[in-house]
Structure 1
Amino acid sequence: MAPAITLAAEAPKLSAANTGFMLICSALVMLMTPGLAFFYGGMVRVKSTLNMLMMSFISLGIVTILWVLYGFSMAFGTDSGSLIGWNSDWVGLGNIGLTELWPGYTIPVFVFLVFQLMFAIITPALISGALADRVKFSAWALFIALWATVVYFPVAHWVWGAGGWAFELGVIDFAGGTAVHINAGAAALGVILVIGKRVGFKKDPMRPHSLPLVMLGAGLLWFGWFGFNAGSWLGNDDGVGALMFVNTQVATAAAMLAWLIYEKIRHGAFTTLGAASGAVAGLVAITPAGGAVTPLGAIAVGAIAGVLCAMAVGLKYKFGYDDSLDVVGVHLVGGVLGSLLIGLFASGKGQSTVEGLFYGGGLTQFWKQCAGVFAVLAYSLIVSAILAFILDKTMGMRVPEDDEIAGIDQAEHAETAYDFSGAGGGAARTAAAAAAVGGAESKKVDA
C-alpha cells in the first residue's frame, strides 16, 4: 500500500471581494468620526459647537500621520515583551508590498492597516466629549499625539497584536471594548480629574443646543458601526462577520429601548437624547461581545447596557466629576459591561469555542475578561492623568475663565457655529414694519 501523502495547507490568496469589502468597512469607520463630532456637537451649548466638532475632526489629521510614521509598527509589529510591537520596515509604510497579504488573511497589509487606522483615529476623539467647553485646542492636539503614542498604540498591541499579553491570555475583544471604549472612557476620567469642572457645573443649565444634530450623529455612528464591528473579522467567509452584523443591530435596538423604558420610569419621559445615548451604549457594549454571543445574548447585552449606562450617567453629580457629555457613563461603563458579559453569554458557536458561565463554561473566561478590562482601565486612567497634569503645568490645559464663559468657539477658533445677525435683523425689521403698519391703521381709525 502506498504511503499516505500529506498536503501542505494552501496559502491564502488575495481576494478582490474581501479587499473591496474591507475598504468599504474602513470608509464606514472613518465616517464615524464626523458622526461623533455631530453627536457631541449637538450636545453642547451654542457657544462651544465648533470647538466640539474640531476636537473630533483634528484626530483625523494627527493620528493619521502618527500611524504612518510609527503607530502601525508599534501596534502590530513584532512583539517585544508582550507589551509593544515594532517593525522598522513599516516605519513610513514605504517597504510594504502592494499585494503583500496580512498573515493568515486574504487582504493586503495596506487594507488591514488603513482599517485599523480608523480605529486609532476615533478612540482619542471619544475622549473629547468629557472635556467640552474648557480645553485649549492646542493643548488638546498635543494631548492626542502623546496619548496615541503612549496609550493607544501599546494597548492595541496588548489586545490585538500577535504576542500581546491580553491576546495571548485569550481575552476576547472582537472590535474594541477594551482597546477603544474602556481605553477612551478611562482616559476621559483621568483627564477631567486633573483639569476640573466647567464654570457653573451643577449650577447653570447646560442642555444640548441641537437635538436634531445629536440624532444625526447617532444615526451616522450606528451606520458606521456596522463597518467597525462586522469588518473586524477581516472578511473571513465563515459567517462570523454576518453574526456580528446582526448582533450589532439587535443589541443597539435593545439598549435604546431599555434606556427609554428606564428613563420613562425614572424621569417620566421618553427623550430623544435618551434614545441616541441608549443606542450608543448598545453599540459600545456589543463591540467586544458580538462575535461570541447569539442574537438572544445580544439582546441581553444591549438591555443590560442600556439600563446600567443610563444609571451611570448620573454618577457625575453624585461624585462631583464633570464628564460633560457622559463619556465615562456610556463608553467606560458600556465597554466594561460588554467585555465582562462575554464571560457569561459566550455561546461557543461564534468566533471561538469559548463558552461562558451560562453555557456551561464556568468562570474561566470571565476572569480572563476581568484581567483585560481592569489592566487597560488602570493603565489608561493613570497615564492619561499624568499626561494631562504635565500639559496643564507646562502650557496649561484650560482656557481662561472669561473665555469659557463668553464662549470657547470665538476664543479658540475666531468663529461661531451660527450666524444669528441676519436672522435677528430680519426678525427685527419684520417686527418694526408690523408695528409701523399697526400704528398707521390705528391713526386712520382715530381719524
Structure 2
Amino acid sequence: MPKLQRWYKGFSYRGSPKKLLEQIANQVQEHNLNQVIPLLRIEKGVKPRNRKPFYFFIAIESTQPDEIPTEVSKSHLLELNYFKKPVKNPTNFNKTSLNYEEIKSMVGIAHDVHDYTHNIPYQPEPVTYDNPFDFIASSNSERSLSDDGKDFSHQYERLLYWLSALGAGSWESFKIACQSLELAEPRRILRRLKLLAHLESSADGSRWTMSPTALVKTKSQEFVLCGQRSLKLVQRLEQLAKVTSINQRRCPPCIYLKLASKNVSYLIEHTEFSISDAGKASSKLANILPDIETWQQNLRNLQGIEPSLYEWQYFDDHHFVDCVSPNKTGLYQFDRREANNNMSRTVFYDQPNNRWLQGDWYGLRFLALYHNQDISCIVHYNKTTENLAIPLDQRWPEIYERALVLASGQLPTYQRTEQSWWLVYERITPKLATQLTDKLGVRLHNND
C-alpha cells in the first residue's frame, strides 16, 4: 500500500474564524473525512471577531501532494464558500500544495492546530424572552423594524382600489402597480394583503386574485370590510352604517362598520354592491386549519432536486450557514453552481421522506423551529386585554397568522421589550388562542 504524505492546502477567507472552524469540522465529521483531513491551522494573530481576510490551511493526507482524495471530492467539501480563494505555492505557481515548513511562520506554535478528530461540543444558546406586555413605551414601540416613519396608508388604499378594479393579474402587474405608487417590497405587501383577506395568490406566486367583498365580524354588531373595495362602495356603506376608517402602517386603512338596530343582512340587501356576510371568519378558519404536521404534509413538493448541482446553506435557527448538502430535516437555501445570477431558493427538507417542500418563508422557518428539539416556540396571552404576543423571530405560517389578523381586522403591532421584539395581535379570545397554539405545538403562557 502506498505511503501517505501529509501536505497543506491554503485558502484566504474573510469572516469569523470560529464559525469557519466549526462548520468545516462538522462537515469533516459528518462525511468521515478525519483520516484524510486530520487537522486545520489558522493564521496566527487572527482575532475572534476578525473582519479582515486571513489565511487558513487544511492538512490533507494522500499518496502525493496536490492529489485530492476521492472521498473528499465526493463529499463536495471543497466547494463550500470557505474554499473559494485558494492560495498558490509561493515558490511554484503551478502547485497549490504546501508543506509544514512553508507555512510554519504563518500559523505559529502548536496550539494553533485544531484537530478535527475531537468532537466540537454544541451548546445551544438559551432562548429567553421577557414579558411582551411590559413593552418600552416610546413613539417607536408600534413601528416595524424597517418602517421609515411615513404614513403611506393612503397610497396602499390607492393600490387596493386599483387591484380591486382589475380583479386579477400577474405578479409582474402587481410589482408595477407598487412601483408606480412608490411602495417598496411588493412581496411583503402581497403577504399583508393576504393576511387581511383582501386577495389570494396562486401556489407558485405567479398570479393574484382579489377576494370577493365581505363583512367579517370582529365583535358584537361590528364588522370589518375585506376583499374588493372601491370609493363608491365605502361611500354607500357610510349611508347605511357608522363607518370608521383606521389608518395602518404599510397597508390600506381598516374600514369598520358599526351597526345599531339593523342587522348585517339589512345592510347587504340595501346596497347595489355584491357583499357577503363572512361572520366570525377567524373562528371559522381556526376550526378547519390542520395541525402543523398535517400542514407540512400538504405543502408542495419541489421535484427534480439533485443536491450535487447546487451550493447549499442551512438555517441554524438564527441565520444561514454553508453546508455541503442537506443531510437532515430543516430549512435550506440553494443556488446553482457557477450560475451568473445570485437568486437563491428556499426549501424545507423533509429528510425522512426525502421531500423538498415549498411554502411561505415564515411558515418554512416556523417548521424549522418546530423540528428543532433545542427551541421552544412560545406565545404570551393576556386574558384581560385579549392580546396575544408572538416573538418576532417565531412568526407563524401565513394561513395561521391570518386567523389572528381576522379576529380584529388589523395587522399586529410591533412591541419592543428590553430583550426582544414581539408581534401583538388584538381581540384574540381565549378559545382562539388555545385552539391555534394547540394545533401549532406552541407553548401558551397566560399573563393575567
Q: Same fold (TM over 0.5)?
A: no
**Higher RCO (CA-CA < 8 Å; seq separation 6+):** 1
Higher strand share: 2
Larger Rg belongs to: 2
TM-score if structure 1 supplies the norm length?
A: 0.20
